[in-house]
């Protein structure tokens, strides 16, 4: 089962640094990255910059339209030309079916602010202790996951 997690970093470049860490972990076969996207919000920018990480993964489990819709709903900025308009209510309802609800959107919007960045990533097969070692010093904050409460608490403890 793939896990969707959202990690917040206290700098605009933190998510990009995390992507490099994920690339290294994937080469070592310590995690499988199915798909990912980053949000980077410079302190002086009016809106964040979003990017799908096609270069991190092969074919991408979800594709650009998913990330475009999700990040467009959260930050009101389209990714890869996916327009958010009159259909956003229906799209939001569709995202609820896969565990992405209004609370997730609101919480993410509140936490990812100017001067920060975020990594949205679908992963599986993570060797948690090795992943934790690789992220030492980056101090990401877990914003959201689709894990059970016990699994989420374990993940939070690993990165605490």
Which distant-in-sequence residues (6+ apart) come within 8 Å of 150 by Cβ? none
Query: What is the b/e burial string over 6-22, where b = at least 16 CB atoms within 10 angstroms of the residue's CB?
Result: bbbbeebebbbbbbebb
Residue pLDDT, tens place only, 119-140: 988 889 999 889 989 988 888 9
- 48 pLDDT exceeds 60? yes
Measured between alpha carbons, how far is residue 45 from residues 15, 18, 82, 140 in Å? 17, 21, 21, 22
Query: How much is the average pLDDT of 26-55?
Result: 87
pTM over 0.85: no
Model pLDDT, residue 43:
96
Model pLDDT, residue 63:
55
């Amino acid at each position: 089962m793939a896990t969707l997690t959202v990690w917040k970093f206290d700098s605009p470049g933190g998510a990009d640094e995390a992507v490099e860490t994920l690339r290294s972990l994937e080469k070592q076969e310590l995690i499988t990255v199915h798909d990912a996207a980053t949000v980077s919000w410079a302190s002086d920018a009016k809106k964040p910059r979003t990017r799908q990480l096609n270069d991190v993964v092969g074919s991408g489990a979800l594709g650009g339209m998913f990330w475009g819709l999700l990040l467009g709903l959260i930050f009101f900025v389209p990714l890869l030309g996916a327009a958010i308009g009159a259909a956003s209510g229906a799209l939001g309802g569709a995202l609820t079916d896969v565990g992405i609800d209004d609370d997730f959107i609101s919480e993410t919007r509140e936490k990812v602010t100017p001067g920060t960045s975020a990594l949205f990533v679908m992963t599986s097969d993570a060797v948690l202790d090795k992943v934790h070692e690789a992220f030492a010093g980056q101090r990401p904050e877990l914003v959201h996951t689709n894990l059970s409460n016990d699994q989420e608490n374990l993940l939070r403890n690993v990165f605490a």
